[in-house]
Amino acid sequence: MHSSRGCRVDHAIAQLAGRQHELVELAQLRALGLTPRQIDYRLEIGRLHRRYRTVYVVGSPGLSLEGERLAAMLAAGPGAVLSHAAACHHWRLLRRQPTGLDVTVPTSGGRAQQGFRVHRHPTLRPPDTTTRLGIPVVRPARAILDLAQTARRDITIQAIDEAHVQRLARGPHLHTQVAAYPKHPGAKALREILRTHVGGSLLTDTDLEDLFLEICRTHGLPQPATQHRIGRLTVDFAFPASRIAIETDGGKYHGTPAAVRRDHRRDSYLIRMGWQVLRFSDEQIEYQPQIVAATILAAFRPPAPAR
Protein backbone atom coordinates (compact mmCIF):
# COMPACT_ATOMS: atom_id res chain seq x y z
CA MET A 1 0.00 0.00 0.00
CA HIS A 2 3.05 2.25 0.30
CA SER A 3 4.00 1.76 -3.38
CA SER A 4 4.69 4.74 -5.62
CA ARG A 5 1.30 4.16 -7.25
CA GLY A 6 -0.36 4.23 -3.84
CA CYS A 7 1.37 7.53 -3.07
CA ARG A 8 0.20 8.99 -6.38
CA VAL A 9 -3.38 7.92 -5.67
CA ASP A 10 -3.28 9.41 -2.16
CA HIS A 11 -1.91 12.63 -3.63
CA ALA A 12 -4.77 12.69 -6.17
CA ILE A 13 -7.28 12.07 -3.36
CA ALA A 14 -5.83 14.95 -1.34
CA GLN A 15 -6.00 17.31 -4.32
CA LEU A 16 -9.60 16.31 -4.99
CA ALA A 17 -10.58 16.75 -1.34
CA GLY A 18 -8.91 20.17 -1.28
CA ARG A 19 -11.45 21.35 -3.85
CA GLN A 20 -14.40 19.79 -2.01
CA HIS A 21 -14.09 20.91 1.61
CA GLU A 22 -11.95 17.82 2.42
CA LEU A 23 -14.54 15.38 1.01
CA VAL A 24 -14.50 12.66 -1.62
CA GLU A 25 -17.26 10.42 -2.95
CA LEU A 26 -17.13 6.66 -3.34
CA ALA A 27 -17.52 6.99 -7.11
CA GLN A 28 -14.52 9.34 -7.21
CA LEU A 29 -12.37 6.87 -5.27
CA ARG A 30 -13.36 4.11 -7.66
CA ALA A 31 -12.56 6.35 -10.63
CA LEU A 32 -9.06 6.75 -9.19
CA GLY A 33 -8.71 2.97 -9.31
CA LEU A 34 -9.21 2.09 -5.64
CA THR A 35 -10.73 -1.29 -4.87
CA PRO A 36 -13.10 -1.87 -1.91
CA ARG A 37 -10.21 -3.48 -0.03
CA GLN A 38 -7.95 -0.46 -0.63
CA ILE A 39 -10.71 1.89 0.56
CA ASP A 40 -11.20 -0.22 3.70
CA TYR A 41 -7.46 -0.10 4.37
CA ARG A 42 -7.48 3.70 4.25
CA LEU A 43 -10.43 3.72 6.62
CA GLU A 44 -8.56 1.44 9.03
CA ILE A 45 -5.42 3.59 9.14
CA GLY A 46 -7.34 6.88 9.36
CA ARG A 47 -6.66 8.37 5.95
CA LEU A 48 -10.37 8.25 5.22
CA HIS A 49 -13.33 8.67 7.57
CA ARG A 50 -16.85 7.71 6.48
CA ARG A 51 -19.30 10.62 6.87
CA TYR A 52 -22.16 9.06 4.92
CA ARG A 53 -22.47 5.75 3.15
CA THR A 54 -20.87 7.05 -0.05
CA VAL A 55 -19.09 10.16 1.28
CA TYR A 56 -15.71 10.24 3.01
CA VAL A 57 -13.66 12.85 4.85
CA VAL A 58 -9.98 12.90 3.97
CA GLY A 59 -7.44 13.29 6.78
CA SER A 60 -8.90 14.73 9.97
CA PRO A 61 -12.49 13.57 10.64
CA GLY A 62 -13.64 17.08 11.53
CA LEU A 63 -15.52 19.17 8.99
CA SER A 64 -16.24 22.86 8.64
CA LEU A 65 -19.84 24.06 8.38
CA GLU A 66 -19.43 24.20 4.61
CA GLY A 67 -18.03 20.69 4.65
CA GLU A 68 -21.00 19.35 6.57
CA ARG A 69 -23.34 20.96 4.09
CA LEU A 70 -21.50 19.69 1.03
CA ALA A 71 -21.35 16.18 2.53
CA ALA A 72 -25.13 16.15 2.73
CA MET A 73 -25.43 17.33 -0.89
CA LEU A 74 -23.11 14.58 -2.08
CA ALA A 75 -24.89 11.94 0.00
CA ALA A 76 -28.34 12.97 -1.25
CA GLY A 77 -27.45 12.25 -4.84
CA PRO A 78 -27.13 14.00 -8.23
CA GLY A 79 -28.69 17.45 -8.48
CA ALA A 80 -29.09 17.91 -4.72
CA VAL A 81 -28.93 21.53 -3.52
CA LEU A 82 -28.94 23.22 -0.13
CA SER A 83 -32.37 24.72 0.58
CA HIS A 84 -34.78 26.14 3.18
CA ALA A 85 -33.30 27.67 6.35
CA ALA A 86 -29.83 26.25 5.71
CA ALA A 87 -29.72 27.95 2.30
CA CYS A 88 -30.90 31.23 3.83
CA HIS A 89 -28.12 31.01 6.41
CA HIS A 90 -25.62 30.13 3.67
CA TRP A 91 -26.62 33.34 1.86
CA ARG A 92 -26.39 35.19 5.21
CA LEU A 93 -30.09 35.99 5.19
CA LEU A 94 -30.46 34.54 8.69
CA ARG A 95 -28.08 35.35 11.54
CA ARG A 96 -28.63 32.17 13.53
CA GLN A 97 -27.49 28.84 12.16
CA PRO A 98 -30.52 26.54 11.81
CA THR A 99 -30.55 23.30 13.77
CA GLY A 100 -31.57 21.20 10.77
CA LEU A 101 -30.14 20.69 7.33
CA ASP A 102 -32.50 20.67 4.34
CA VAL A 103 -31.67 19.37 0.88
CA THR A 104 -33.82 19.66 -2.22
CA VAL A 105 -33.49 17.26 -5.13
CA PRO A 106 -35.04 17.95 -8.56
CA THR A 107 -36.20 14.35 -8.92
CA SER A 108 -38.58 11.93 -7.28
CA GLY A 109 -35.56 10.15 -5.78
CA GLY A 110 -32.84 11.43 -3.51
CA ARG A 111 -31.30 9.53 -0.63
CA ALA A 112 -32.44 10.77 2.78
CA GLN A 113 -30.05 9.85 5.60
CA GLN A 114 -29.66 10.66 9.24
CA GLY A 115 -28.35 14.20 9.47
CA PHE A 116 -30.44 15.92 6.82
CA ARG A 117 -33.93 16.13 5.37
CA VAL A 118 -34.71 15.64 1.68
CA HIS A 119 -37.39 17.61 -0.18
CA ARG A 120 -38.31 16.32 -3.63
CA HIS A 121 -39.31 18.98 -6.15
CA PRO A 122 -39.15 17.65 -9.73
CA THR A 123 -40.18 21.09 -11.00
CA LEU A 124 -37.10 22.85 -9.57
CA ARG A 125 -35.67 24.93 -12.41
CA PRO A 126 -31.92 25.06 -13.08
CA PRO A 127 -31.95 28.92 -13.12
CA ASP A 128 -33.06 28.81 -9.48
CA THR A 129 -29.90 27.00 -8.38
CA THR A 130 -26.25 27.98 -8.29
CA THR A 131 -23.02 27.25 -6.42
CA ARG A 132 -21.74 29.37 -3.55
CA LEU A 133 -18.54 28.61 -1.61
CA GLY A 134 -18.32 25.35 -3.52
CA ILE A 135 -21.76 24.17 -2.38
CA PRO A 136 -24.79 23.67 -4.66
CA VAL A 137 -27.56 25.89 -3.29
CA VAL A 138 -30.87 27.40 -4.34
CA ARG A 139 -30.77 31.10 -5.12
CA PRO A 140 -31.94 33.59 -2.45
CA ALA A 141 -35.49 34.09 -3.75
CA ARG A 142 -36.08 30.34 -3.94
CA ALA A 143 -34.49 29.89 -0.49
CA ILE A 144 -37.01 32.34 0.96
CA LEU A 145 -39.87 30.50 -0.74
CA ASP A 146 -38.58 27.26 0.82
CA LEU A 147 -38.17 28.96 4.19
CA ALA A 148 -41.80 30.11 4.18
CA GLN A 149 -42.80 26.44 4.11
CA THR A 150 -41.22 25.58 7.46
CA ALA A 151 -40.37 28.77 9.37
CA ARG A 152 -42.36 31.22 11.46
CA ARG A 153 -43.65 34.33 9.73
CA ASP A 154 -41.21 36.61 11.57
CA ILE A 155 -38.24 34.47 10.54
CA THR A 156 -39.32 34.58 6.90
CA ILE A 157 -39.70 38.36 7.13
CA GLN A 158 -36.22 38.58 8.62
CA ALA A 159 -34.81 36.76 5.58
CA ILE A 160 -36.83 38.93 3.19
CA ASP A 161 -35.47 42.08 4.80
CA GLU A 162 -31.86 40.93 4.69
CA ALA A 163 -32.19 39.84 1.06
CA HIS A 164 -33.54 43.32 0.28
CA VAL A 165 -30.67 45.08 2.03
CA GLN A 166 -28.04 42.91 0.33
CA ARG A 167 -29.79 43.32 -3.04
CA LEU A 168 -29.95 39.54 -3.41
CA ALA A 169 -33.72 39.30 -3.81
CA ARG A 170 -36.37 41.99 -3.68
CA GLY A 171 -40.12 42.13 -4.04
CA PRO A 172 -40.31 41.42 -7.79
CA HIS A 173 -38.00 38.39 -7.45
CA LEU A 174 -40.13 36.94 -4.67
CA HIS A 175 -43.39 37.51 -6.57
CA THR A 176 -41.80 35.78 -9.56
CA GLN A 177 -40.94 32.78 -7.38
CA VAL A 178 -44.49 32.48 -6.08
CA ALA A 179 -45.84 32.71 -9.63
CA ALA A 180 -43.34 30.12 -10.89
CA TYR A 181 -44.11 27.63 -8.12
CA PRO A 182 -47.77 28.22 -7.19
CA LYS A 183 -48.12 24.72 -5.72
CA HIS A 184 -44.98 24.94 -3.59
CA PRO A 185 -45.82 24.33 0.11
CA GLY A 186 -44.40 27.74 0.99
CA ALA A 187 -46.18 29.71 -1.74
CA LYS A 188 -49.32 30.52 0.23
CA ALA A 189 -47.44 31.74 3.30
CA LEU A 190 -45.02 33.85 1.25
CA ARG A 191 -47.85 35.30 -0.84
CA GLU A 192 -49.63 36.42 2.32
CA ILE A 193 -46.47 38.04 3.68
CA LEU A 194 -45.85 39.92 0.44
CA ARG A 195 -49.37 41.39 0.54
CA THR A 196 -48.48 43.50 3.57
CA HIS A 197 -44.70 43.50 3.98
CA VAL A 198 -42.15 45.40 1.92
CA GLY A 199 -38.54 44.36 2.33
CA GLY A 200 -36.32 46.67 4.34
CA SER A 201 -33.55 46.29 6.83
CA LEU A 202 -33.18 43.18 8.92
CA LEU A 203 -31.59 45.07 11.77
CA THR A 204 -33.59 47.44 13.94
CA ASP A 205 -32.00 50.60 15.32
CA THR A 206 -31.62 48.79 18.65
CA ASP A 207 -29.90 45.85 16.96
CA LEU A 208 -27.45 48.18 15.22
CA GLU A 209 -26.72 50.09 18.41
CA ASP A 210 -26.00 46.91 20.36
CA LEU A 211 -23.73 45.53 17.63
CA PHE A 212 -21.85 48.79 17.15
CA LEU A 213 -21.26 49.27 20.88
CA GLU A 214 -20.00 45.68 21.04
CA ILE A 215 -17.52 46.46 18.24
CA CYS A 216 -16.25 49.46 20.22
CA ARG A 217 -15.82 47.40 23.40
CA THR A 218 -14.17 44.47 21.64
CA HIS A 219 -11.68 46.54 19.66
CA GLY A 220 -10.69 49.05 22.33
CA LEU A 221 -12.47 52.04 20.85
CA PRO A 222 -13.77 54.87 23.05
CA GLN A 223 -17.39 54.72 24.14
CA PRO A 224 -19.34 56.66 21.49
CA ALA A 225 -22.23 58.99 22.09
CA THR A 226 -25.49 57.67 20.64
CA GLN A 227 -28.10 59.75 18.85
CA HIS A 228 -25.76 62.73 19.05
CA ARG A 229 -26.99 66.16 17.97
CA ILE A 230 -24.82 68.11 15.52
CA GLY A 231 -26.41 71.37 14.49
CA ARG A 232 -29.78 70.54 12.97
CA LEU A 233 -28.99 66.84 12.54
CA THR A 234 -28.85 63.83 14.83
CA VAL A 235 -26.27 61.18 13.95
CA ASP A 236 -26.37 57.56 15.03
CA PHE A 237 -23.03 57.62 16.88
CA ALA A 238 -20.33 60.18 17.48
CA PHE A 239 -16.91 60.63 19.03
CA PRO A 240 -17.26 64.33 19.89
CA ALA A 241 -13.69 64.83 21.11
CA SER A 242 -12.40 63.75 17.70
CA ARG A 243 -15.36 65.17 15.74
CA ILE A 244 -16.07 61.84 14.07
CA ALA A 245 -19.69 61.09 13.17
CA ILE A 246 -20.87 57.54 12.45
CA GLU A 247 -23.92 56.88 10.30
CA THR A 248 -25.35 53.35 10.04
CA ASP A 249 -27.51 52.45 7.07
CA GLY A 250 -30.12 50.26 8.69
CA GLY A 251 -33.86 50.43 9.30
CA LYS A 252 -34.51 52.59 6.21
CA TYR A 253 -34.31 52.20 2.47
CA HIS A 254 -30.76 53.40 2.03
CA GLY A 255 -30.47 51.78 -1.38
CA THR A 256 -33.05 53.97 -3.09
CA PRO A 257 -31.98 57.00 -5.18
CA ALA A 258 -33.88 59.36 -2.86
CA ALA A 259 -32.13 57.92 0.19
CA VAL A 260 -28.72 58.22 -1.48
CA ARG A 261 -29.37 61.90 -2.23
CA ARG A 262 -30.52 62.46 1.37
CA ASP A 263 -27.39 60.79 2.75
CA HIS A 264 -25.19 62.96 0.53
CA ARG A 265 -26.91 66.10 1.83
CA ARG A 266 -26.42 64.96 5.42
CA ASP A 267 -22.74 64.17 4.84
CA SER A 268 -22.12 67.55 3.18
CA TYR A 269 -23.75 69.37 6.07
CA LEU A 270 -21.72 67.48 8.69
CA ILE A 271 -18.47 68.12 6.82
CA ARG A 272 -19.27 71.85 6.68
CA MET A 273 -19.80 71.69 10.44
CA GLY A 274 -16.24 70.41 10.78
CA TRP A 275 -16.98 66.72 11.31
CA GLN A 276 -15.52 63.66 9.63
CA VAL A 277 -18.30 61.28 8.52
CA LEU A 278 -17.98 57.51 8.40
CA ARG A 279 -20.89 55.53 6.98
CA PHE A 280 -21.33 51.77 7.49
CA SER A 281 -24.01 49.43 6.20
CA ASP A 282 -25.80 47.16 8.63
CA GLU A 283 -24.18 44.22 6.80
CA GLN A 284 -20.71 45.61 7.58
CA ILE A 285 -21.57 46.09 11.24
CA GLU A 286 -22.99 42.59 11.50
CA TYR A 287 -20.52 40.61 9.41
CA GLN A 288 -17.35 42.74 9.12
CA PRO A 289 -16.71 44.17 12.60
CA GLN A 290 -12.92 44.10 12.11
CA ILE A 291 -13.17 46.32 9.04
CA VAL A 292 -15.50 48.72 10.84
CA ALA A 293 -13.14 48.97 13.82
CA ALA A 294 -10.05 49.40 11.62
CA THR A 295 -11.73 52.19 9.64
CA ILE A 296 -12.66 54.08 12.81
CA LEU A 297 -9.18 53.64 14.29
CA ALA A 298 -7.68 55.03 11.08
CA ALA A 299 -9.96 58.05 11.36
CA PHE A 300 -8.57 58.80 14.83
CA ARG A 301 -5.02 59.04 13.48
CA PRO A 302 -3.89 62.45 12.21
CA PRO A 303 -3.29 62.63 8.45
CA ALA A 304 0.24 62.02 7.26
CA PRO A 305 2.14 65.21 6.35
CA ALA A 306 2.18 66.10 2.68
CA ARG A 307 5.38 65.37 0.83
For 279-307, the pLDDT digits (tens) are 998 778 887 899 999 999 999 987 666 66
Dihedral of the alpha carbons of 47, 23, 79, 27, in degrees to the nearest 10: -30
Read off the pTM.
0.64
Q: What dihedral do alpha carbons 72, 100, 104, 107 form, nearest 10°?
A: 80
CATH of domain 205-300: 3.40.960.10
Model pLDDT, residue 3: 64
Parts of the chain with a pLDDT under 50: 1, 201-202, 251-254
What is the predicted pLDDT for the residue at 256? 54
Q: Where are the domains of the chain?
A: 10-58, 79-196, 205-300
Q: How far apart are the first and last CA of the chain?
A: 66
How high is the pLDDT of residue 109?
65
pLDDT tens digits, one per residue of 153-182: 999 999 998 888 777 898 889 999 999 999
Point out which residues pair with 49 in neighbouring strands. 57
R_g over Cα of the chain = 25
| Strands 276-281, 244-249: pairing kind | parallel
pLDDT for 182: 95
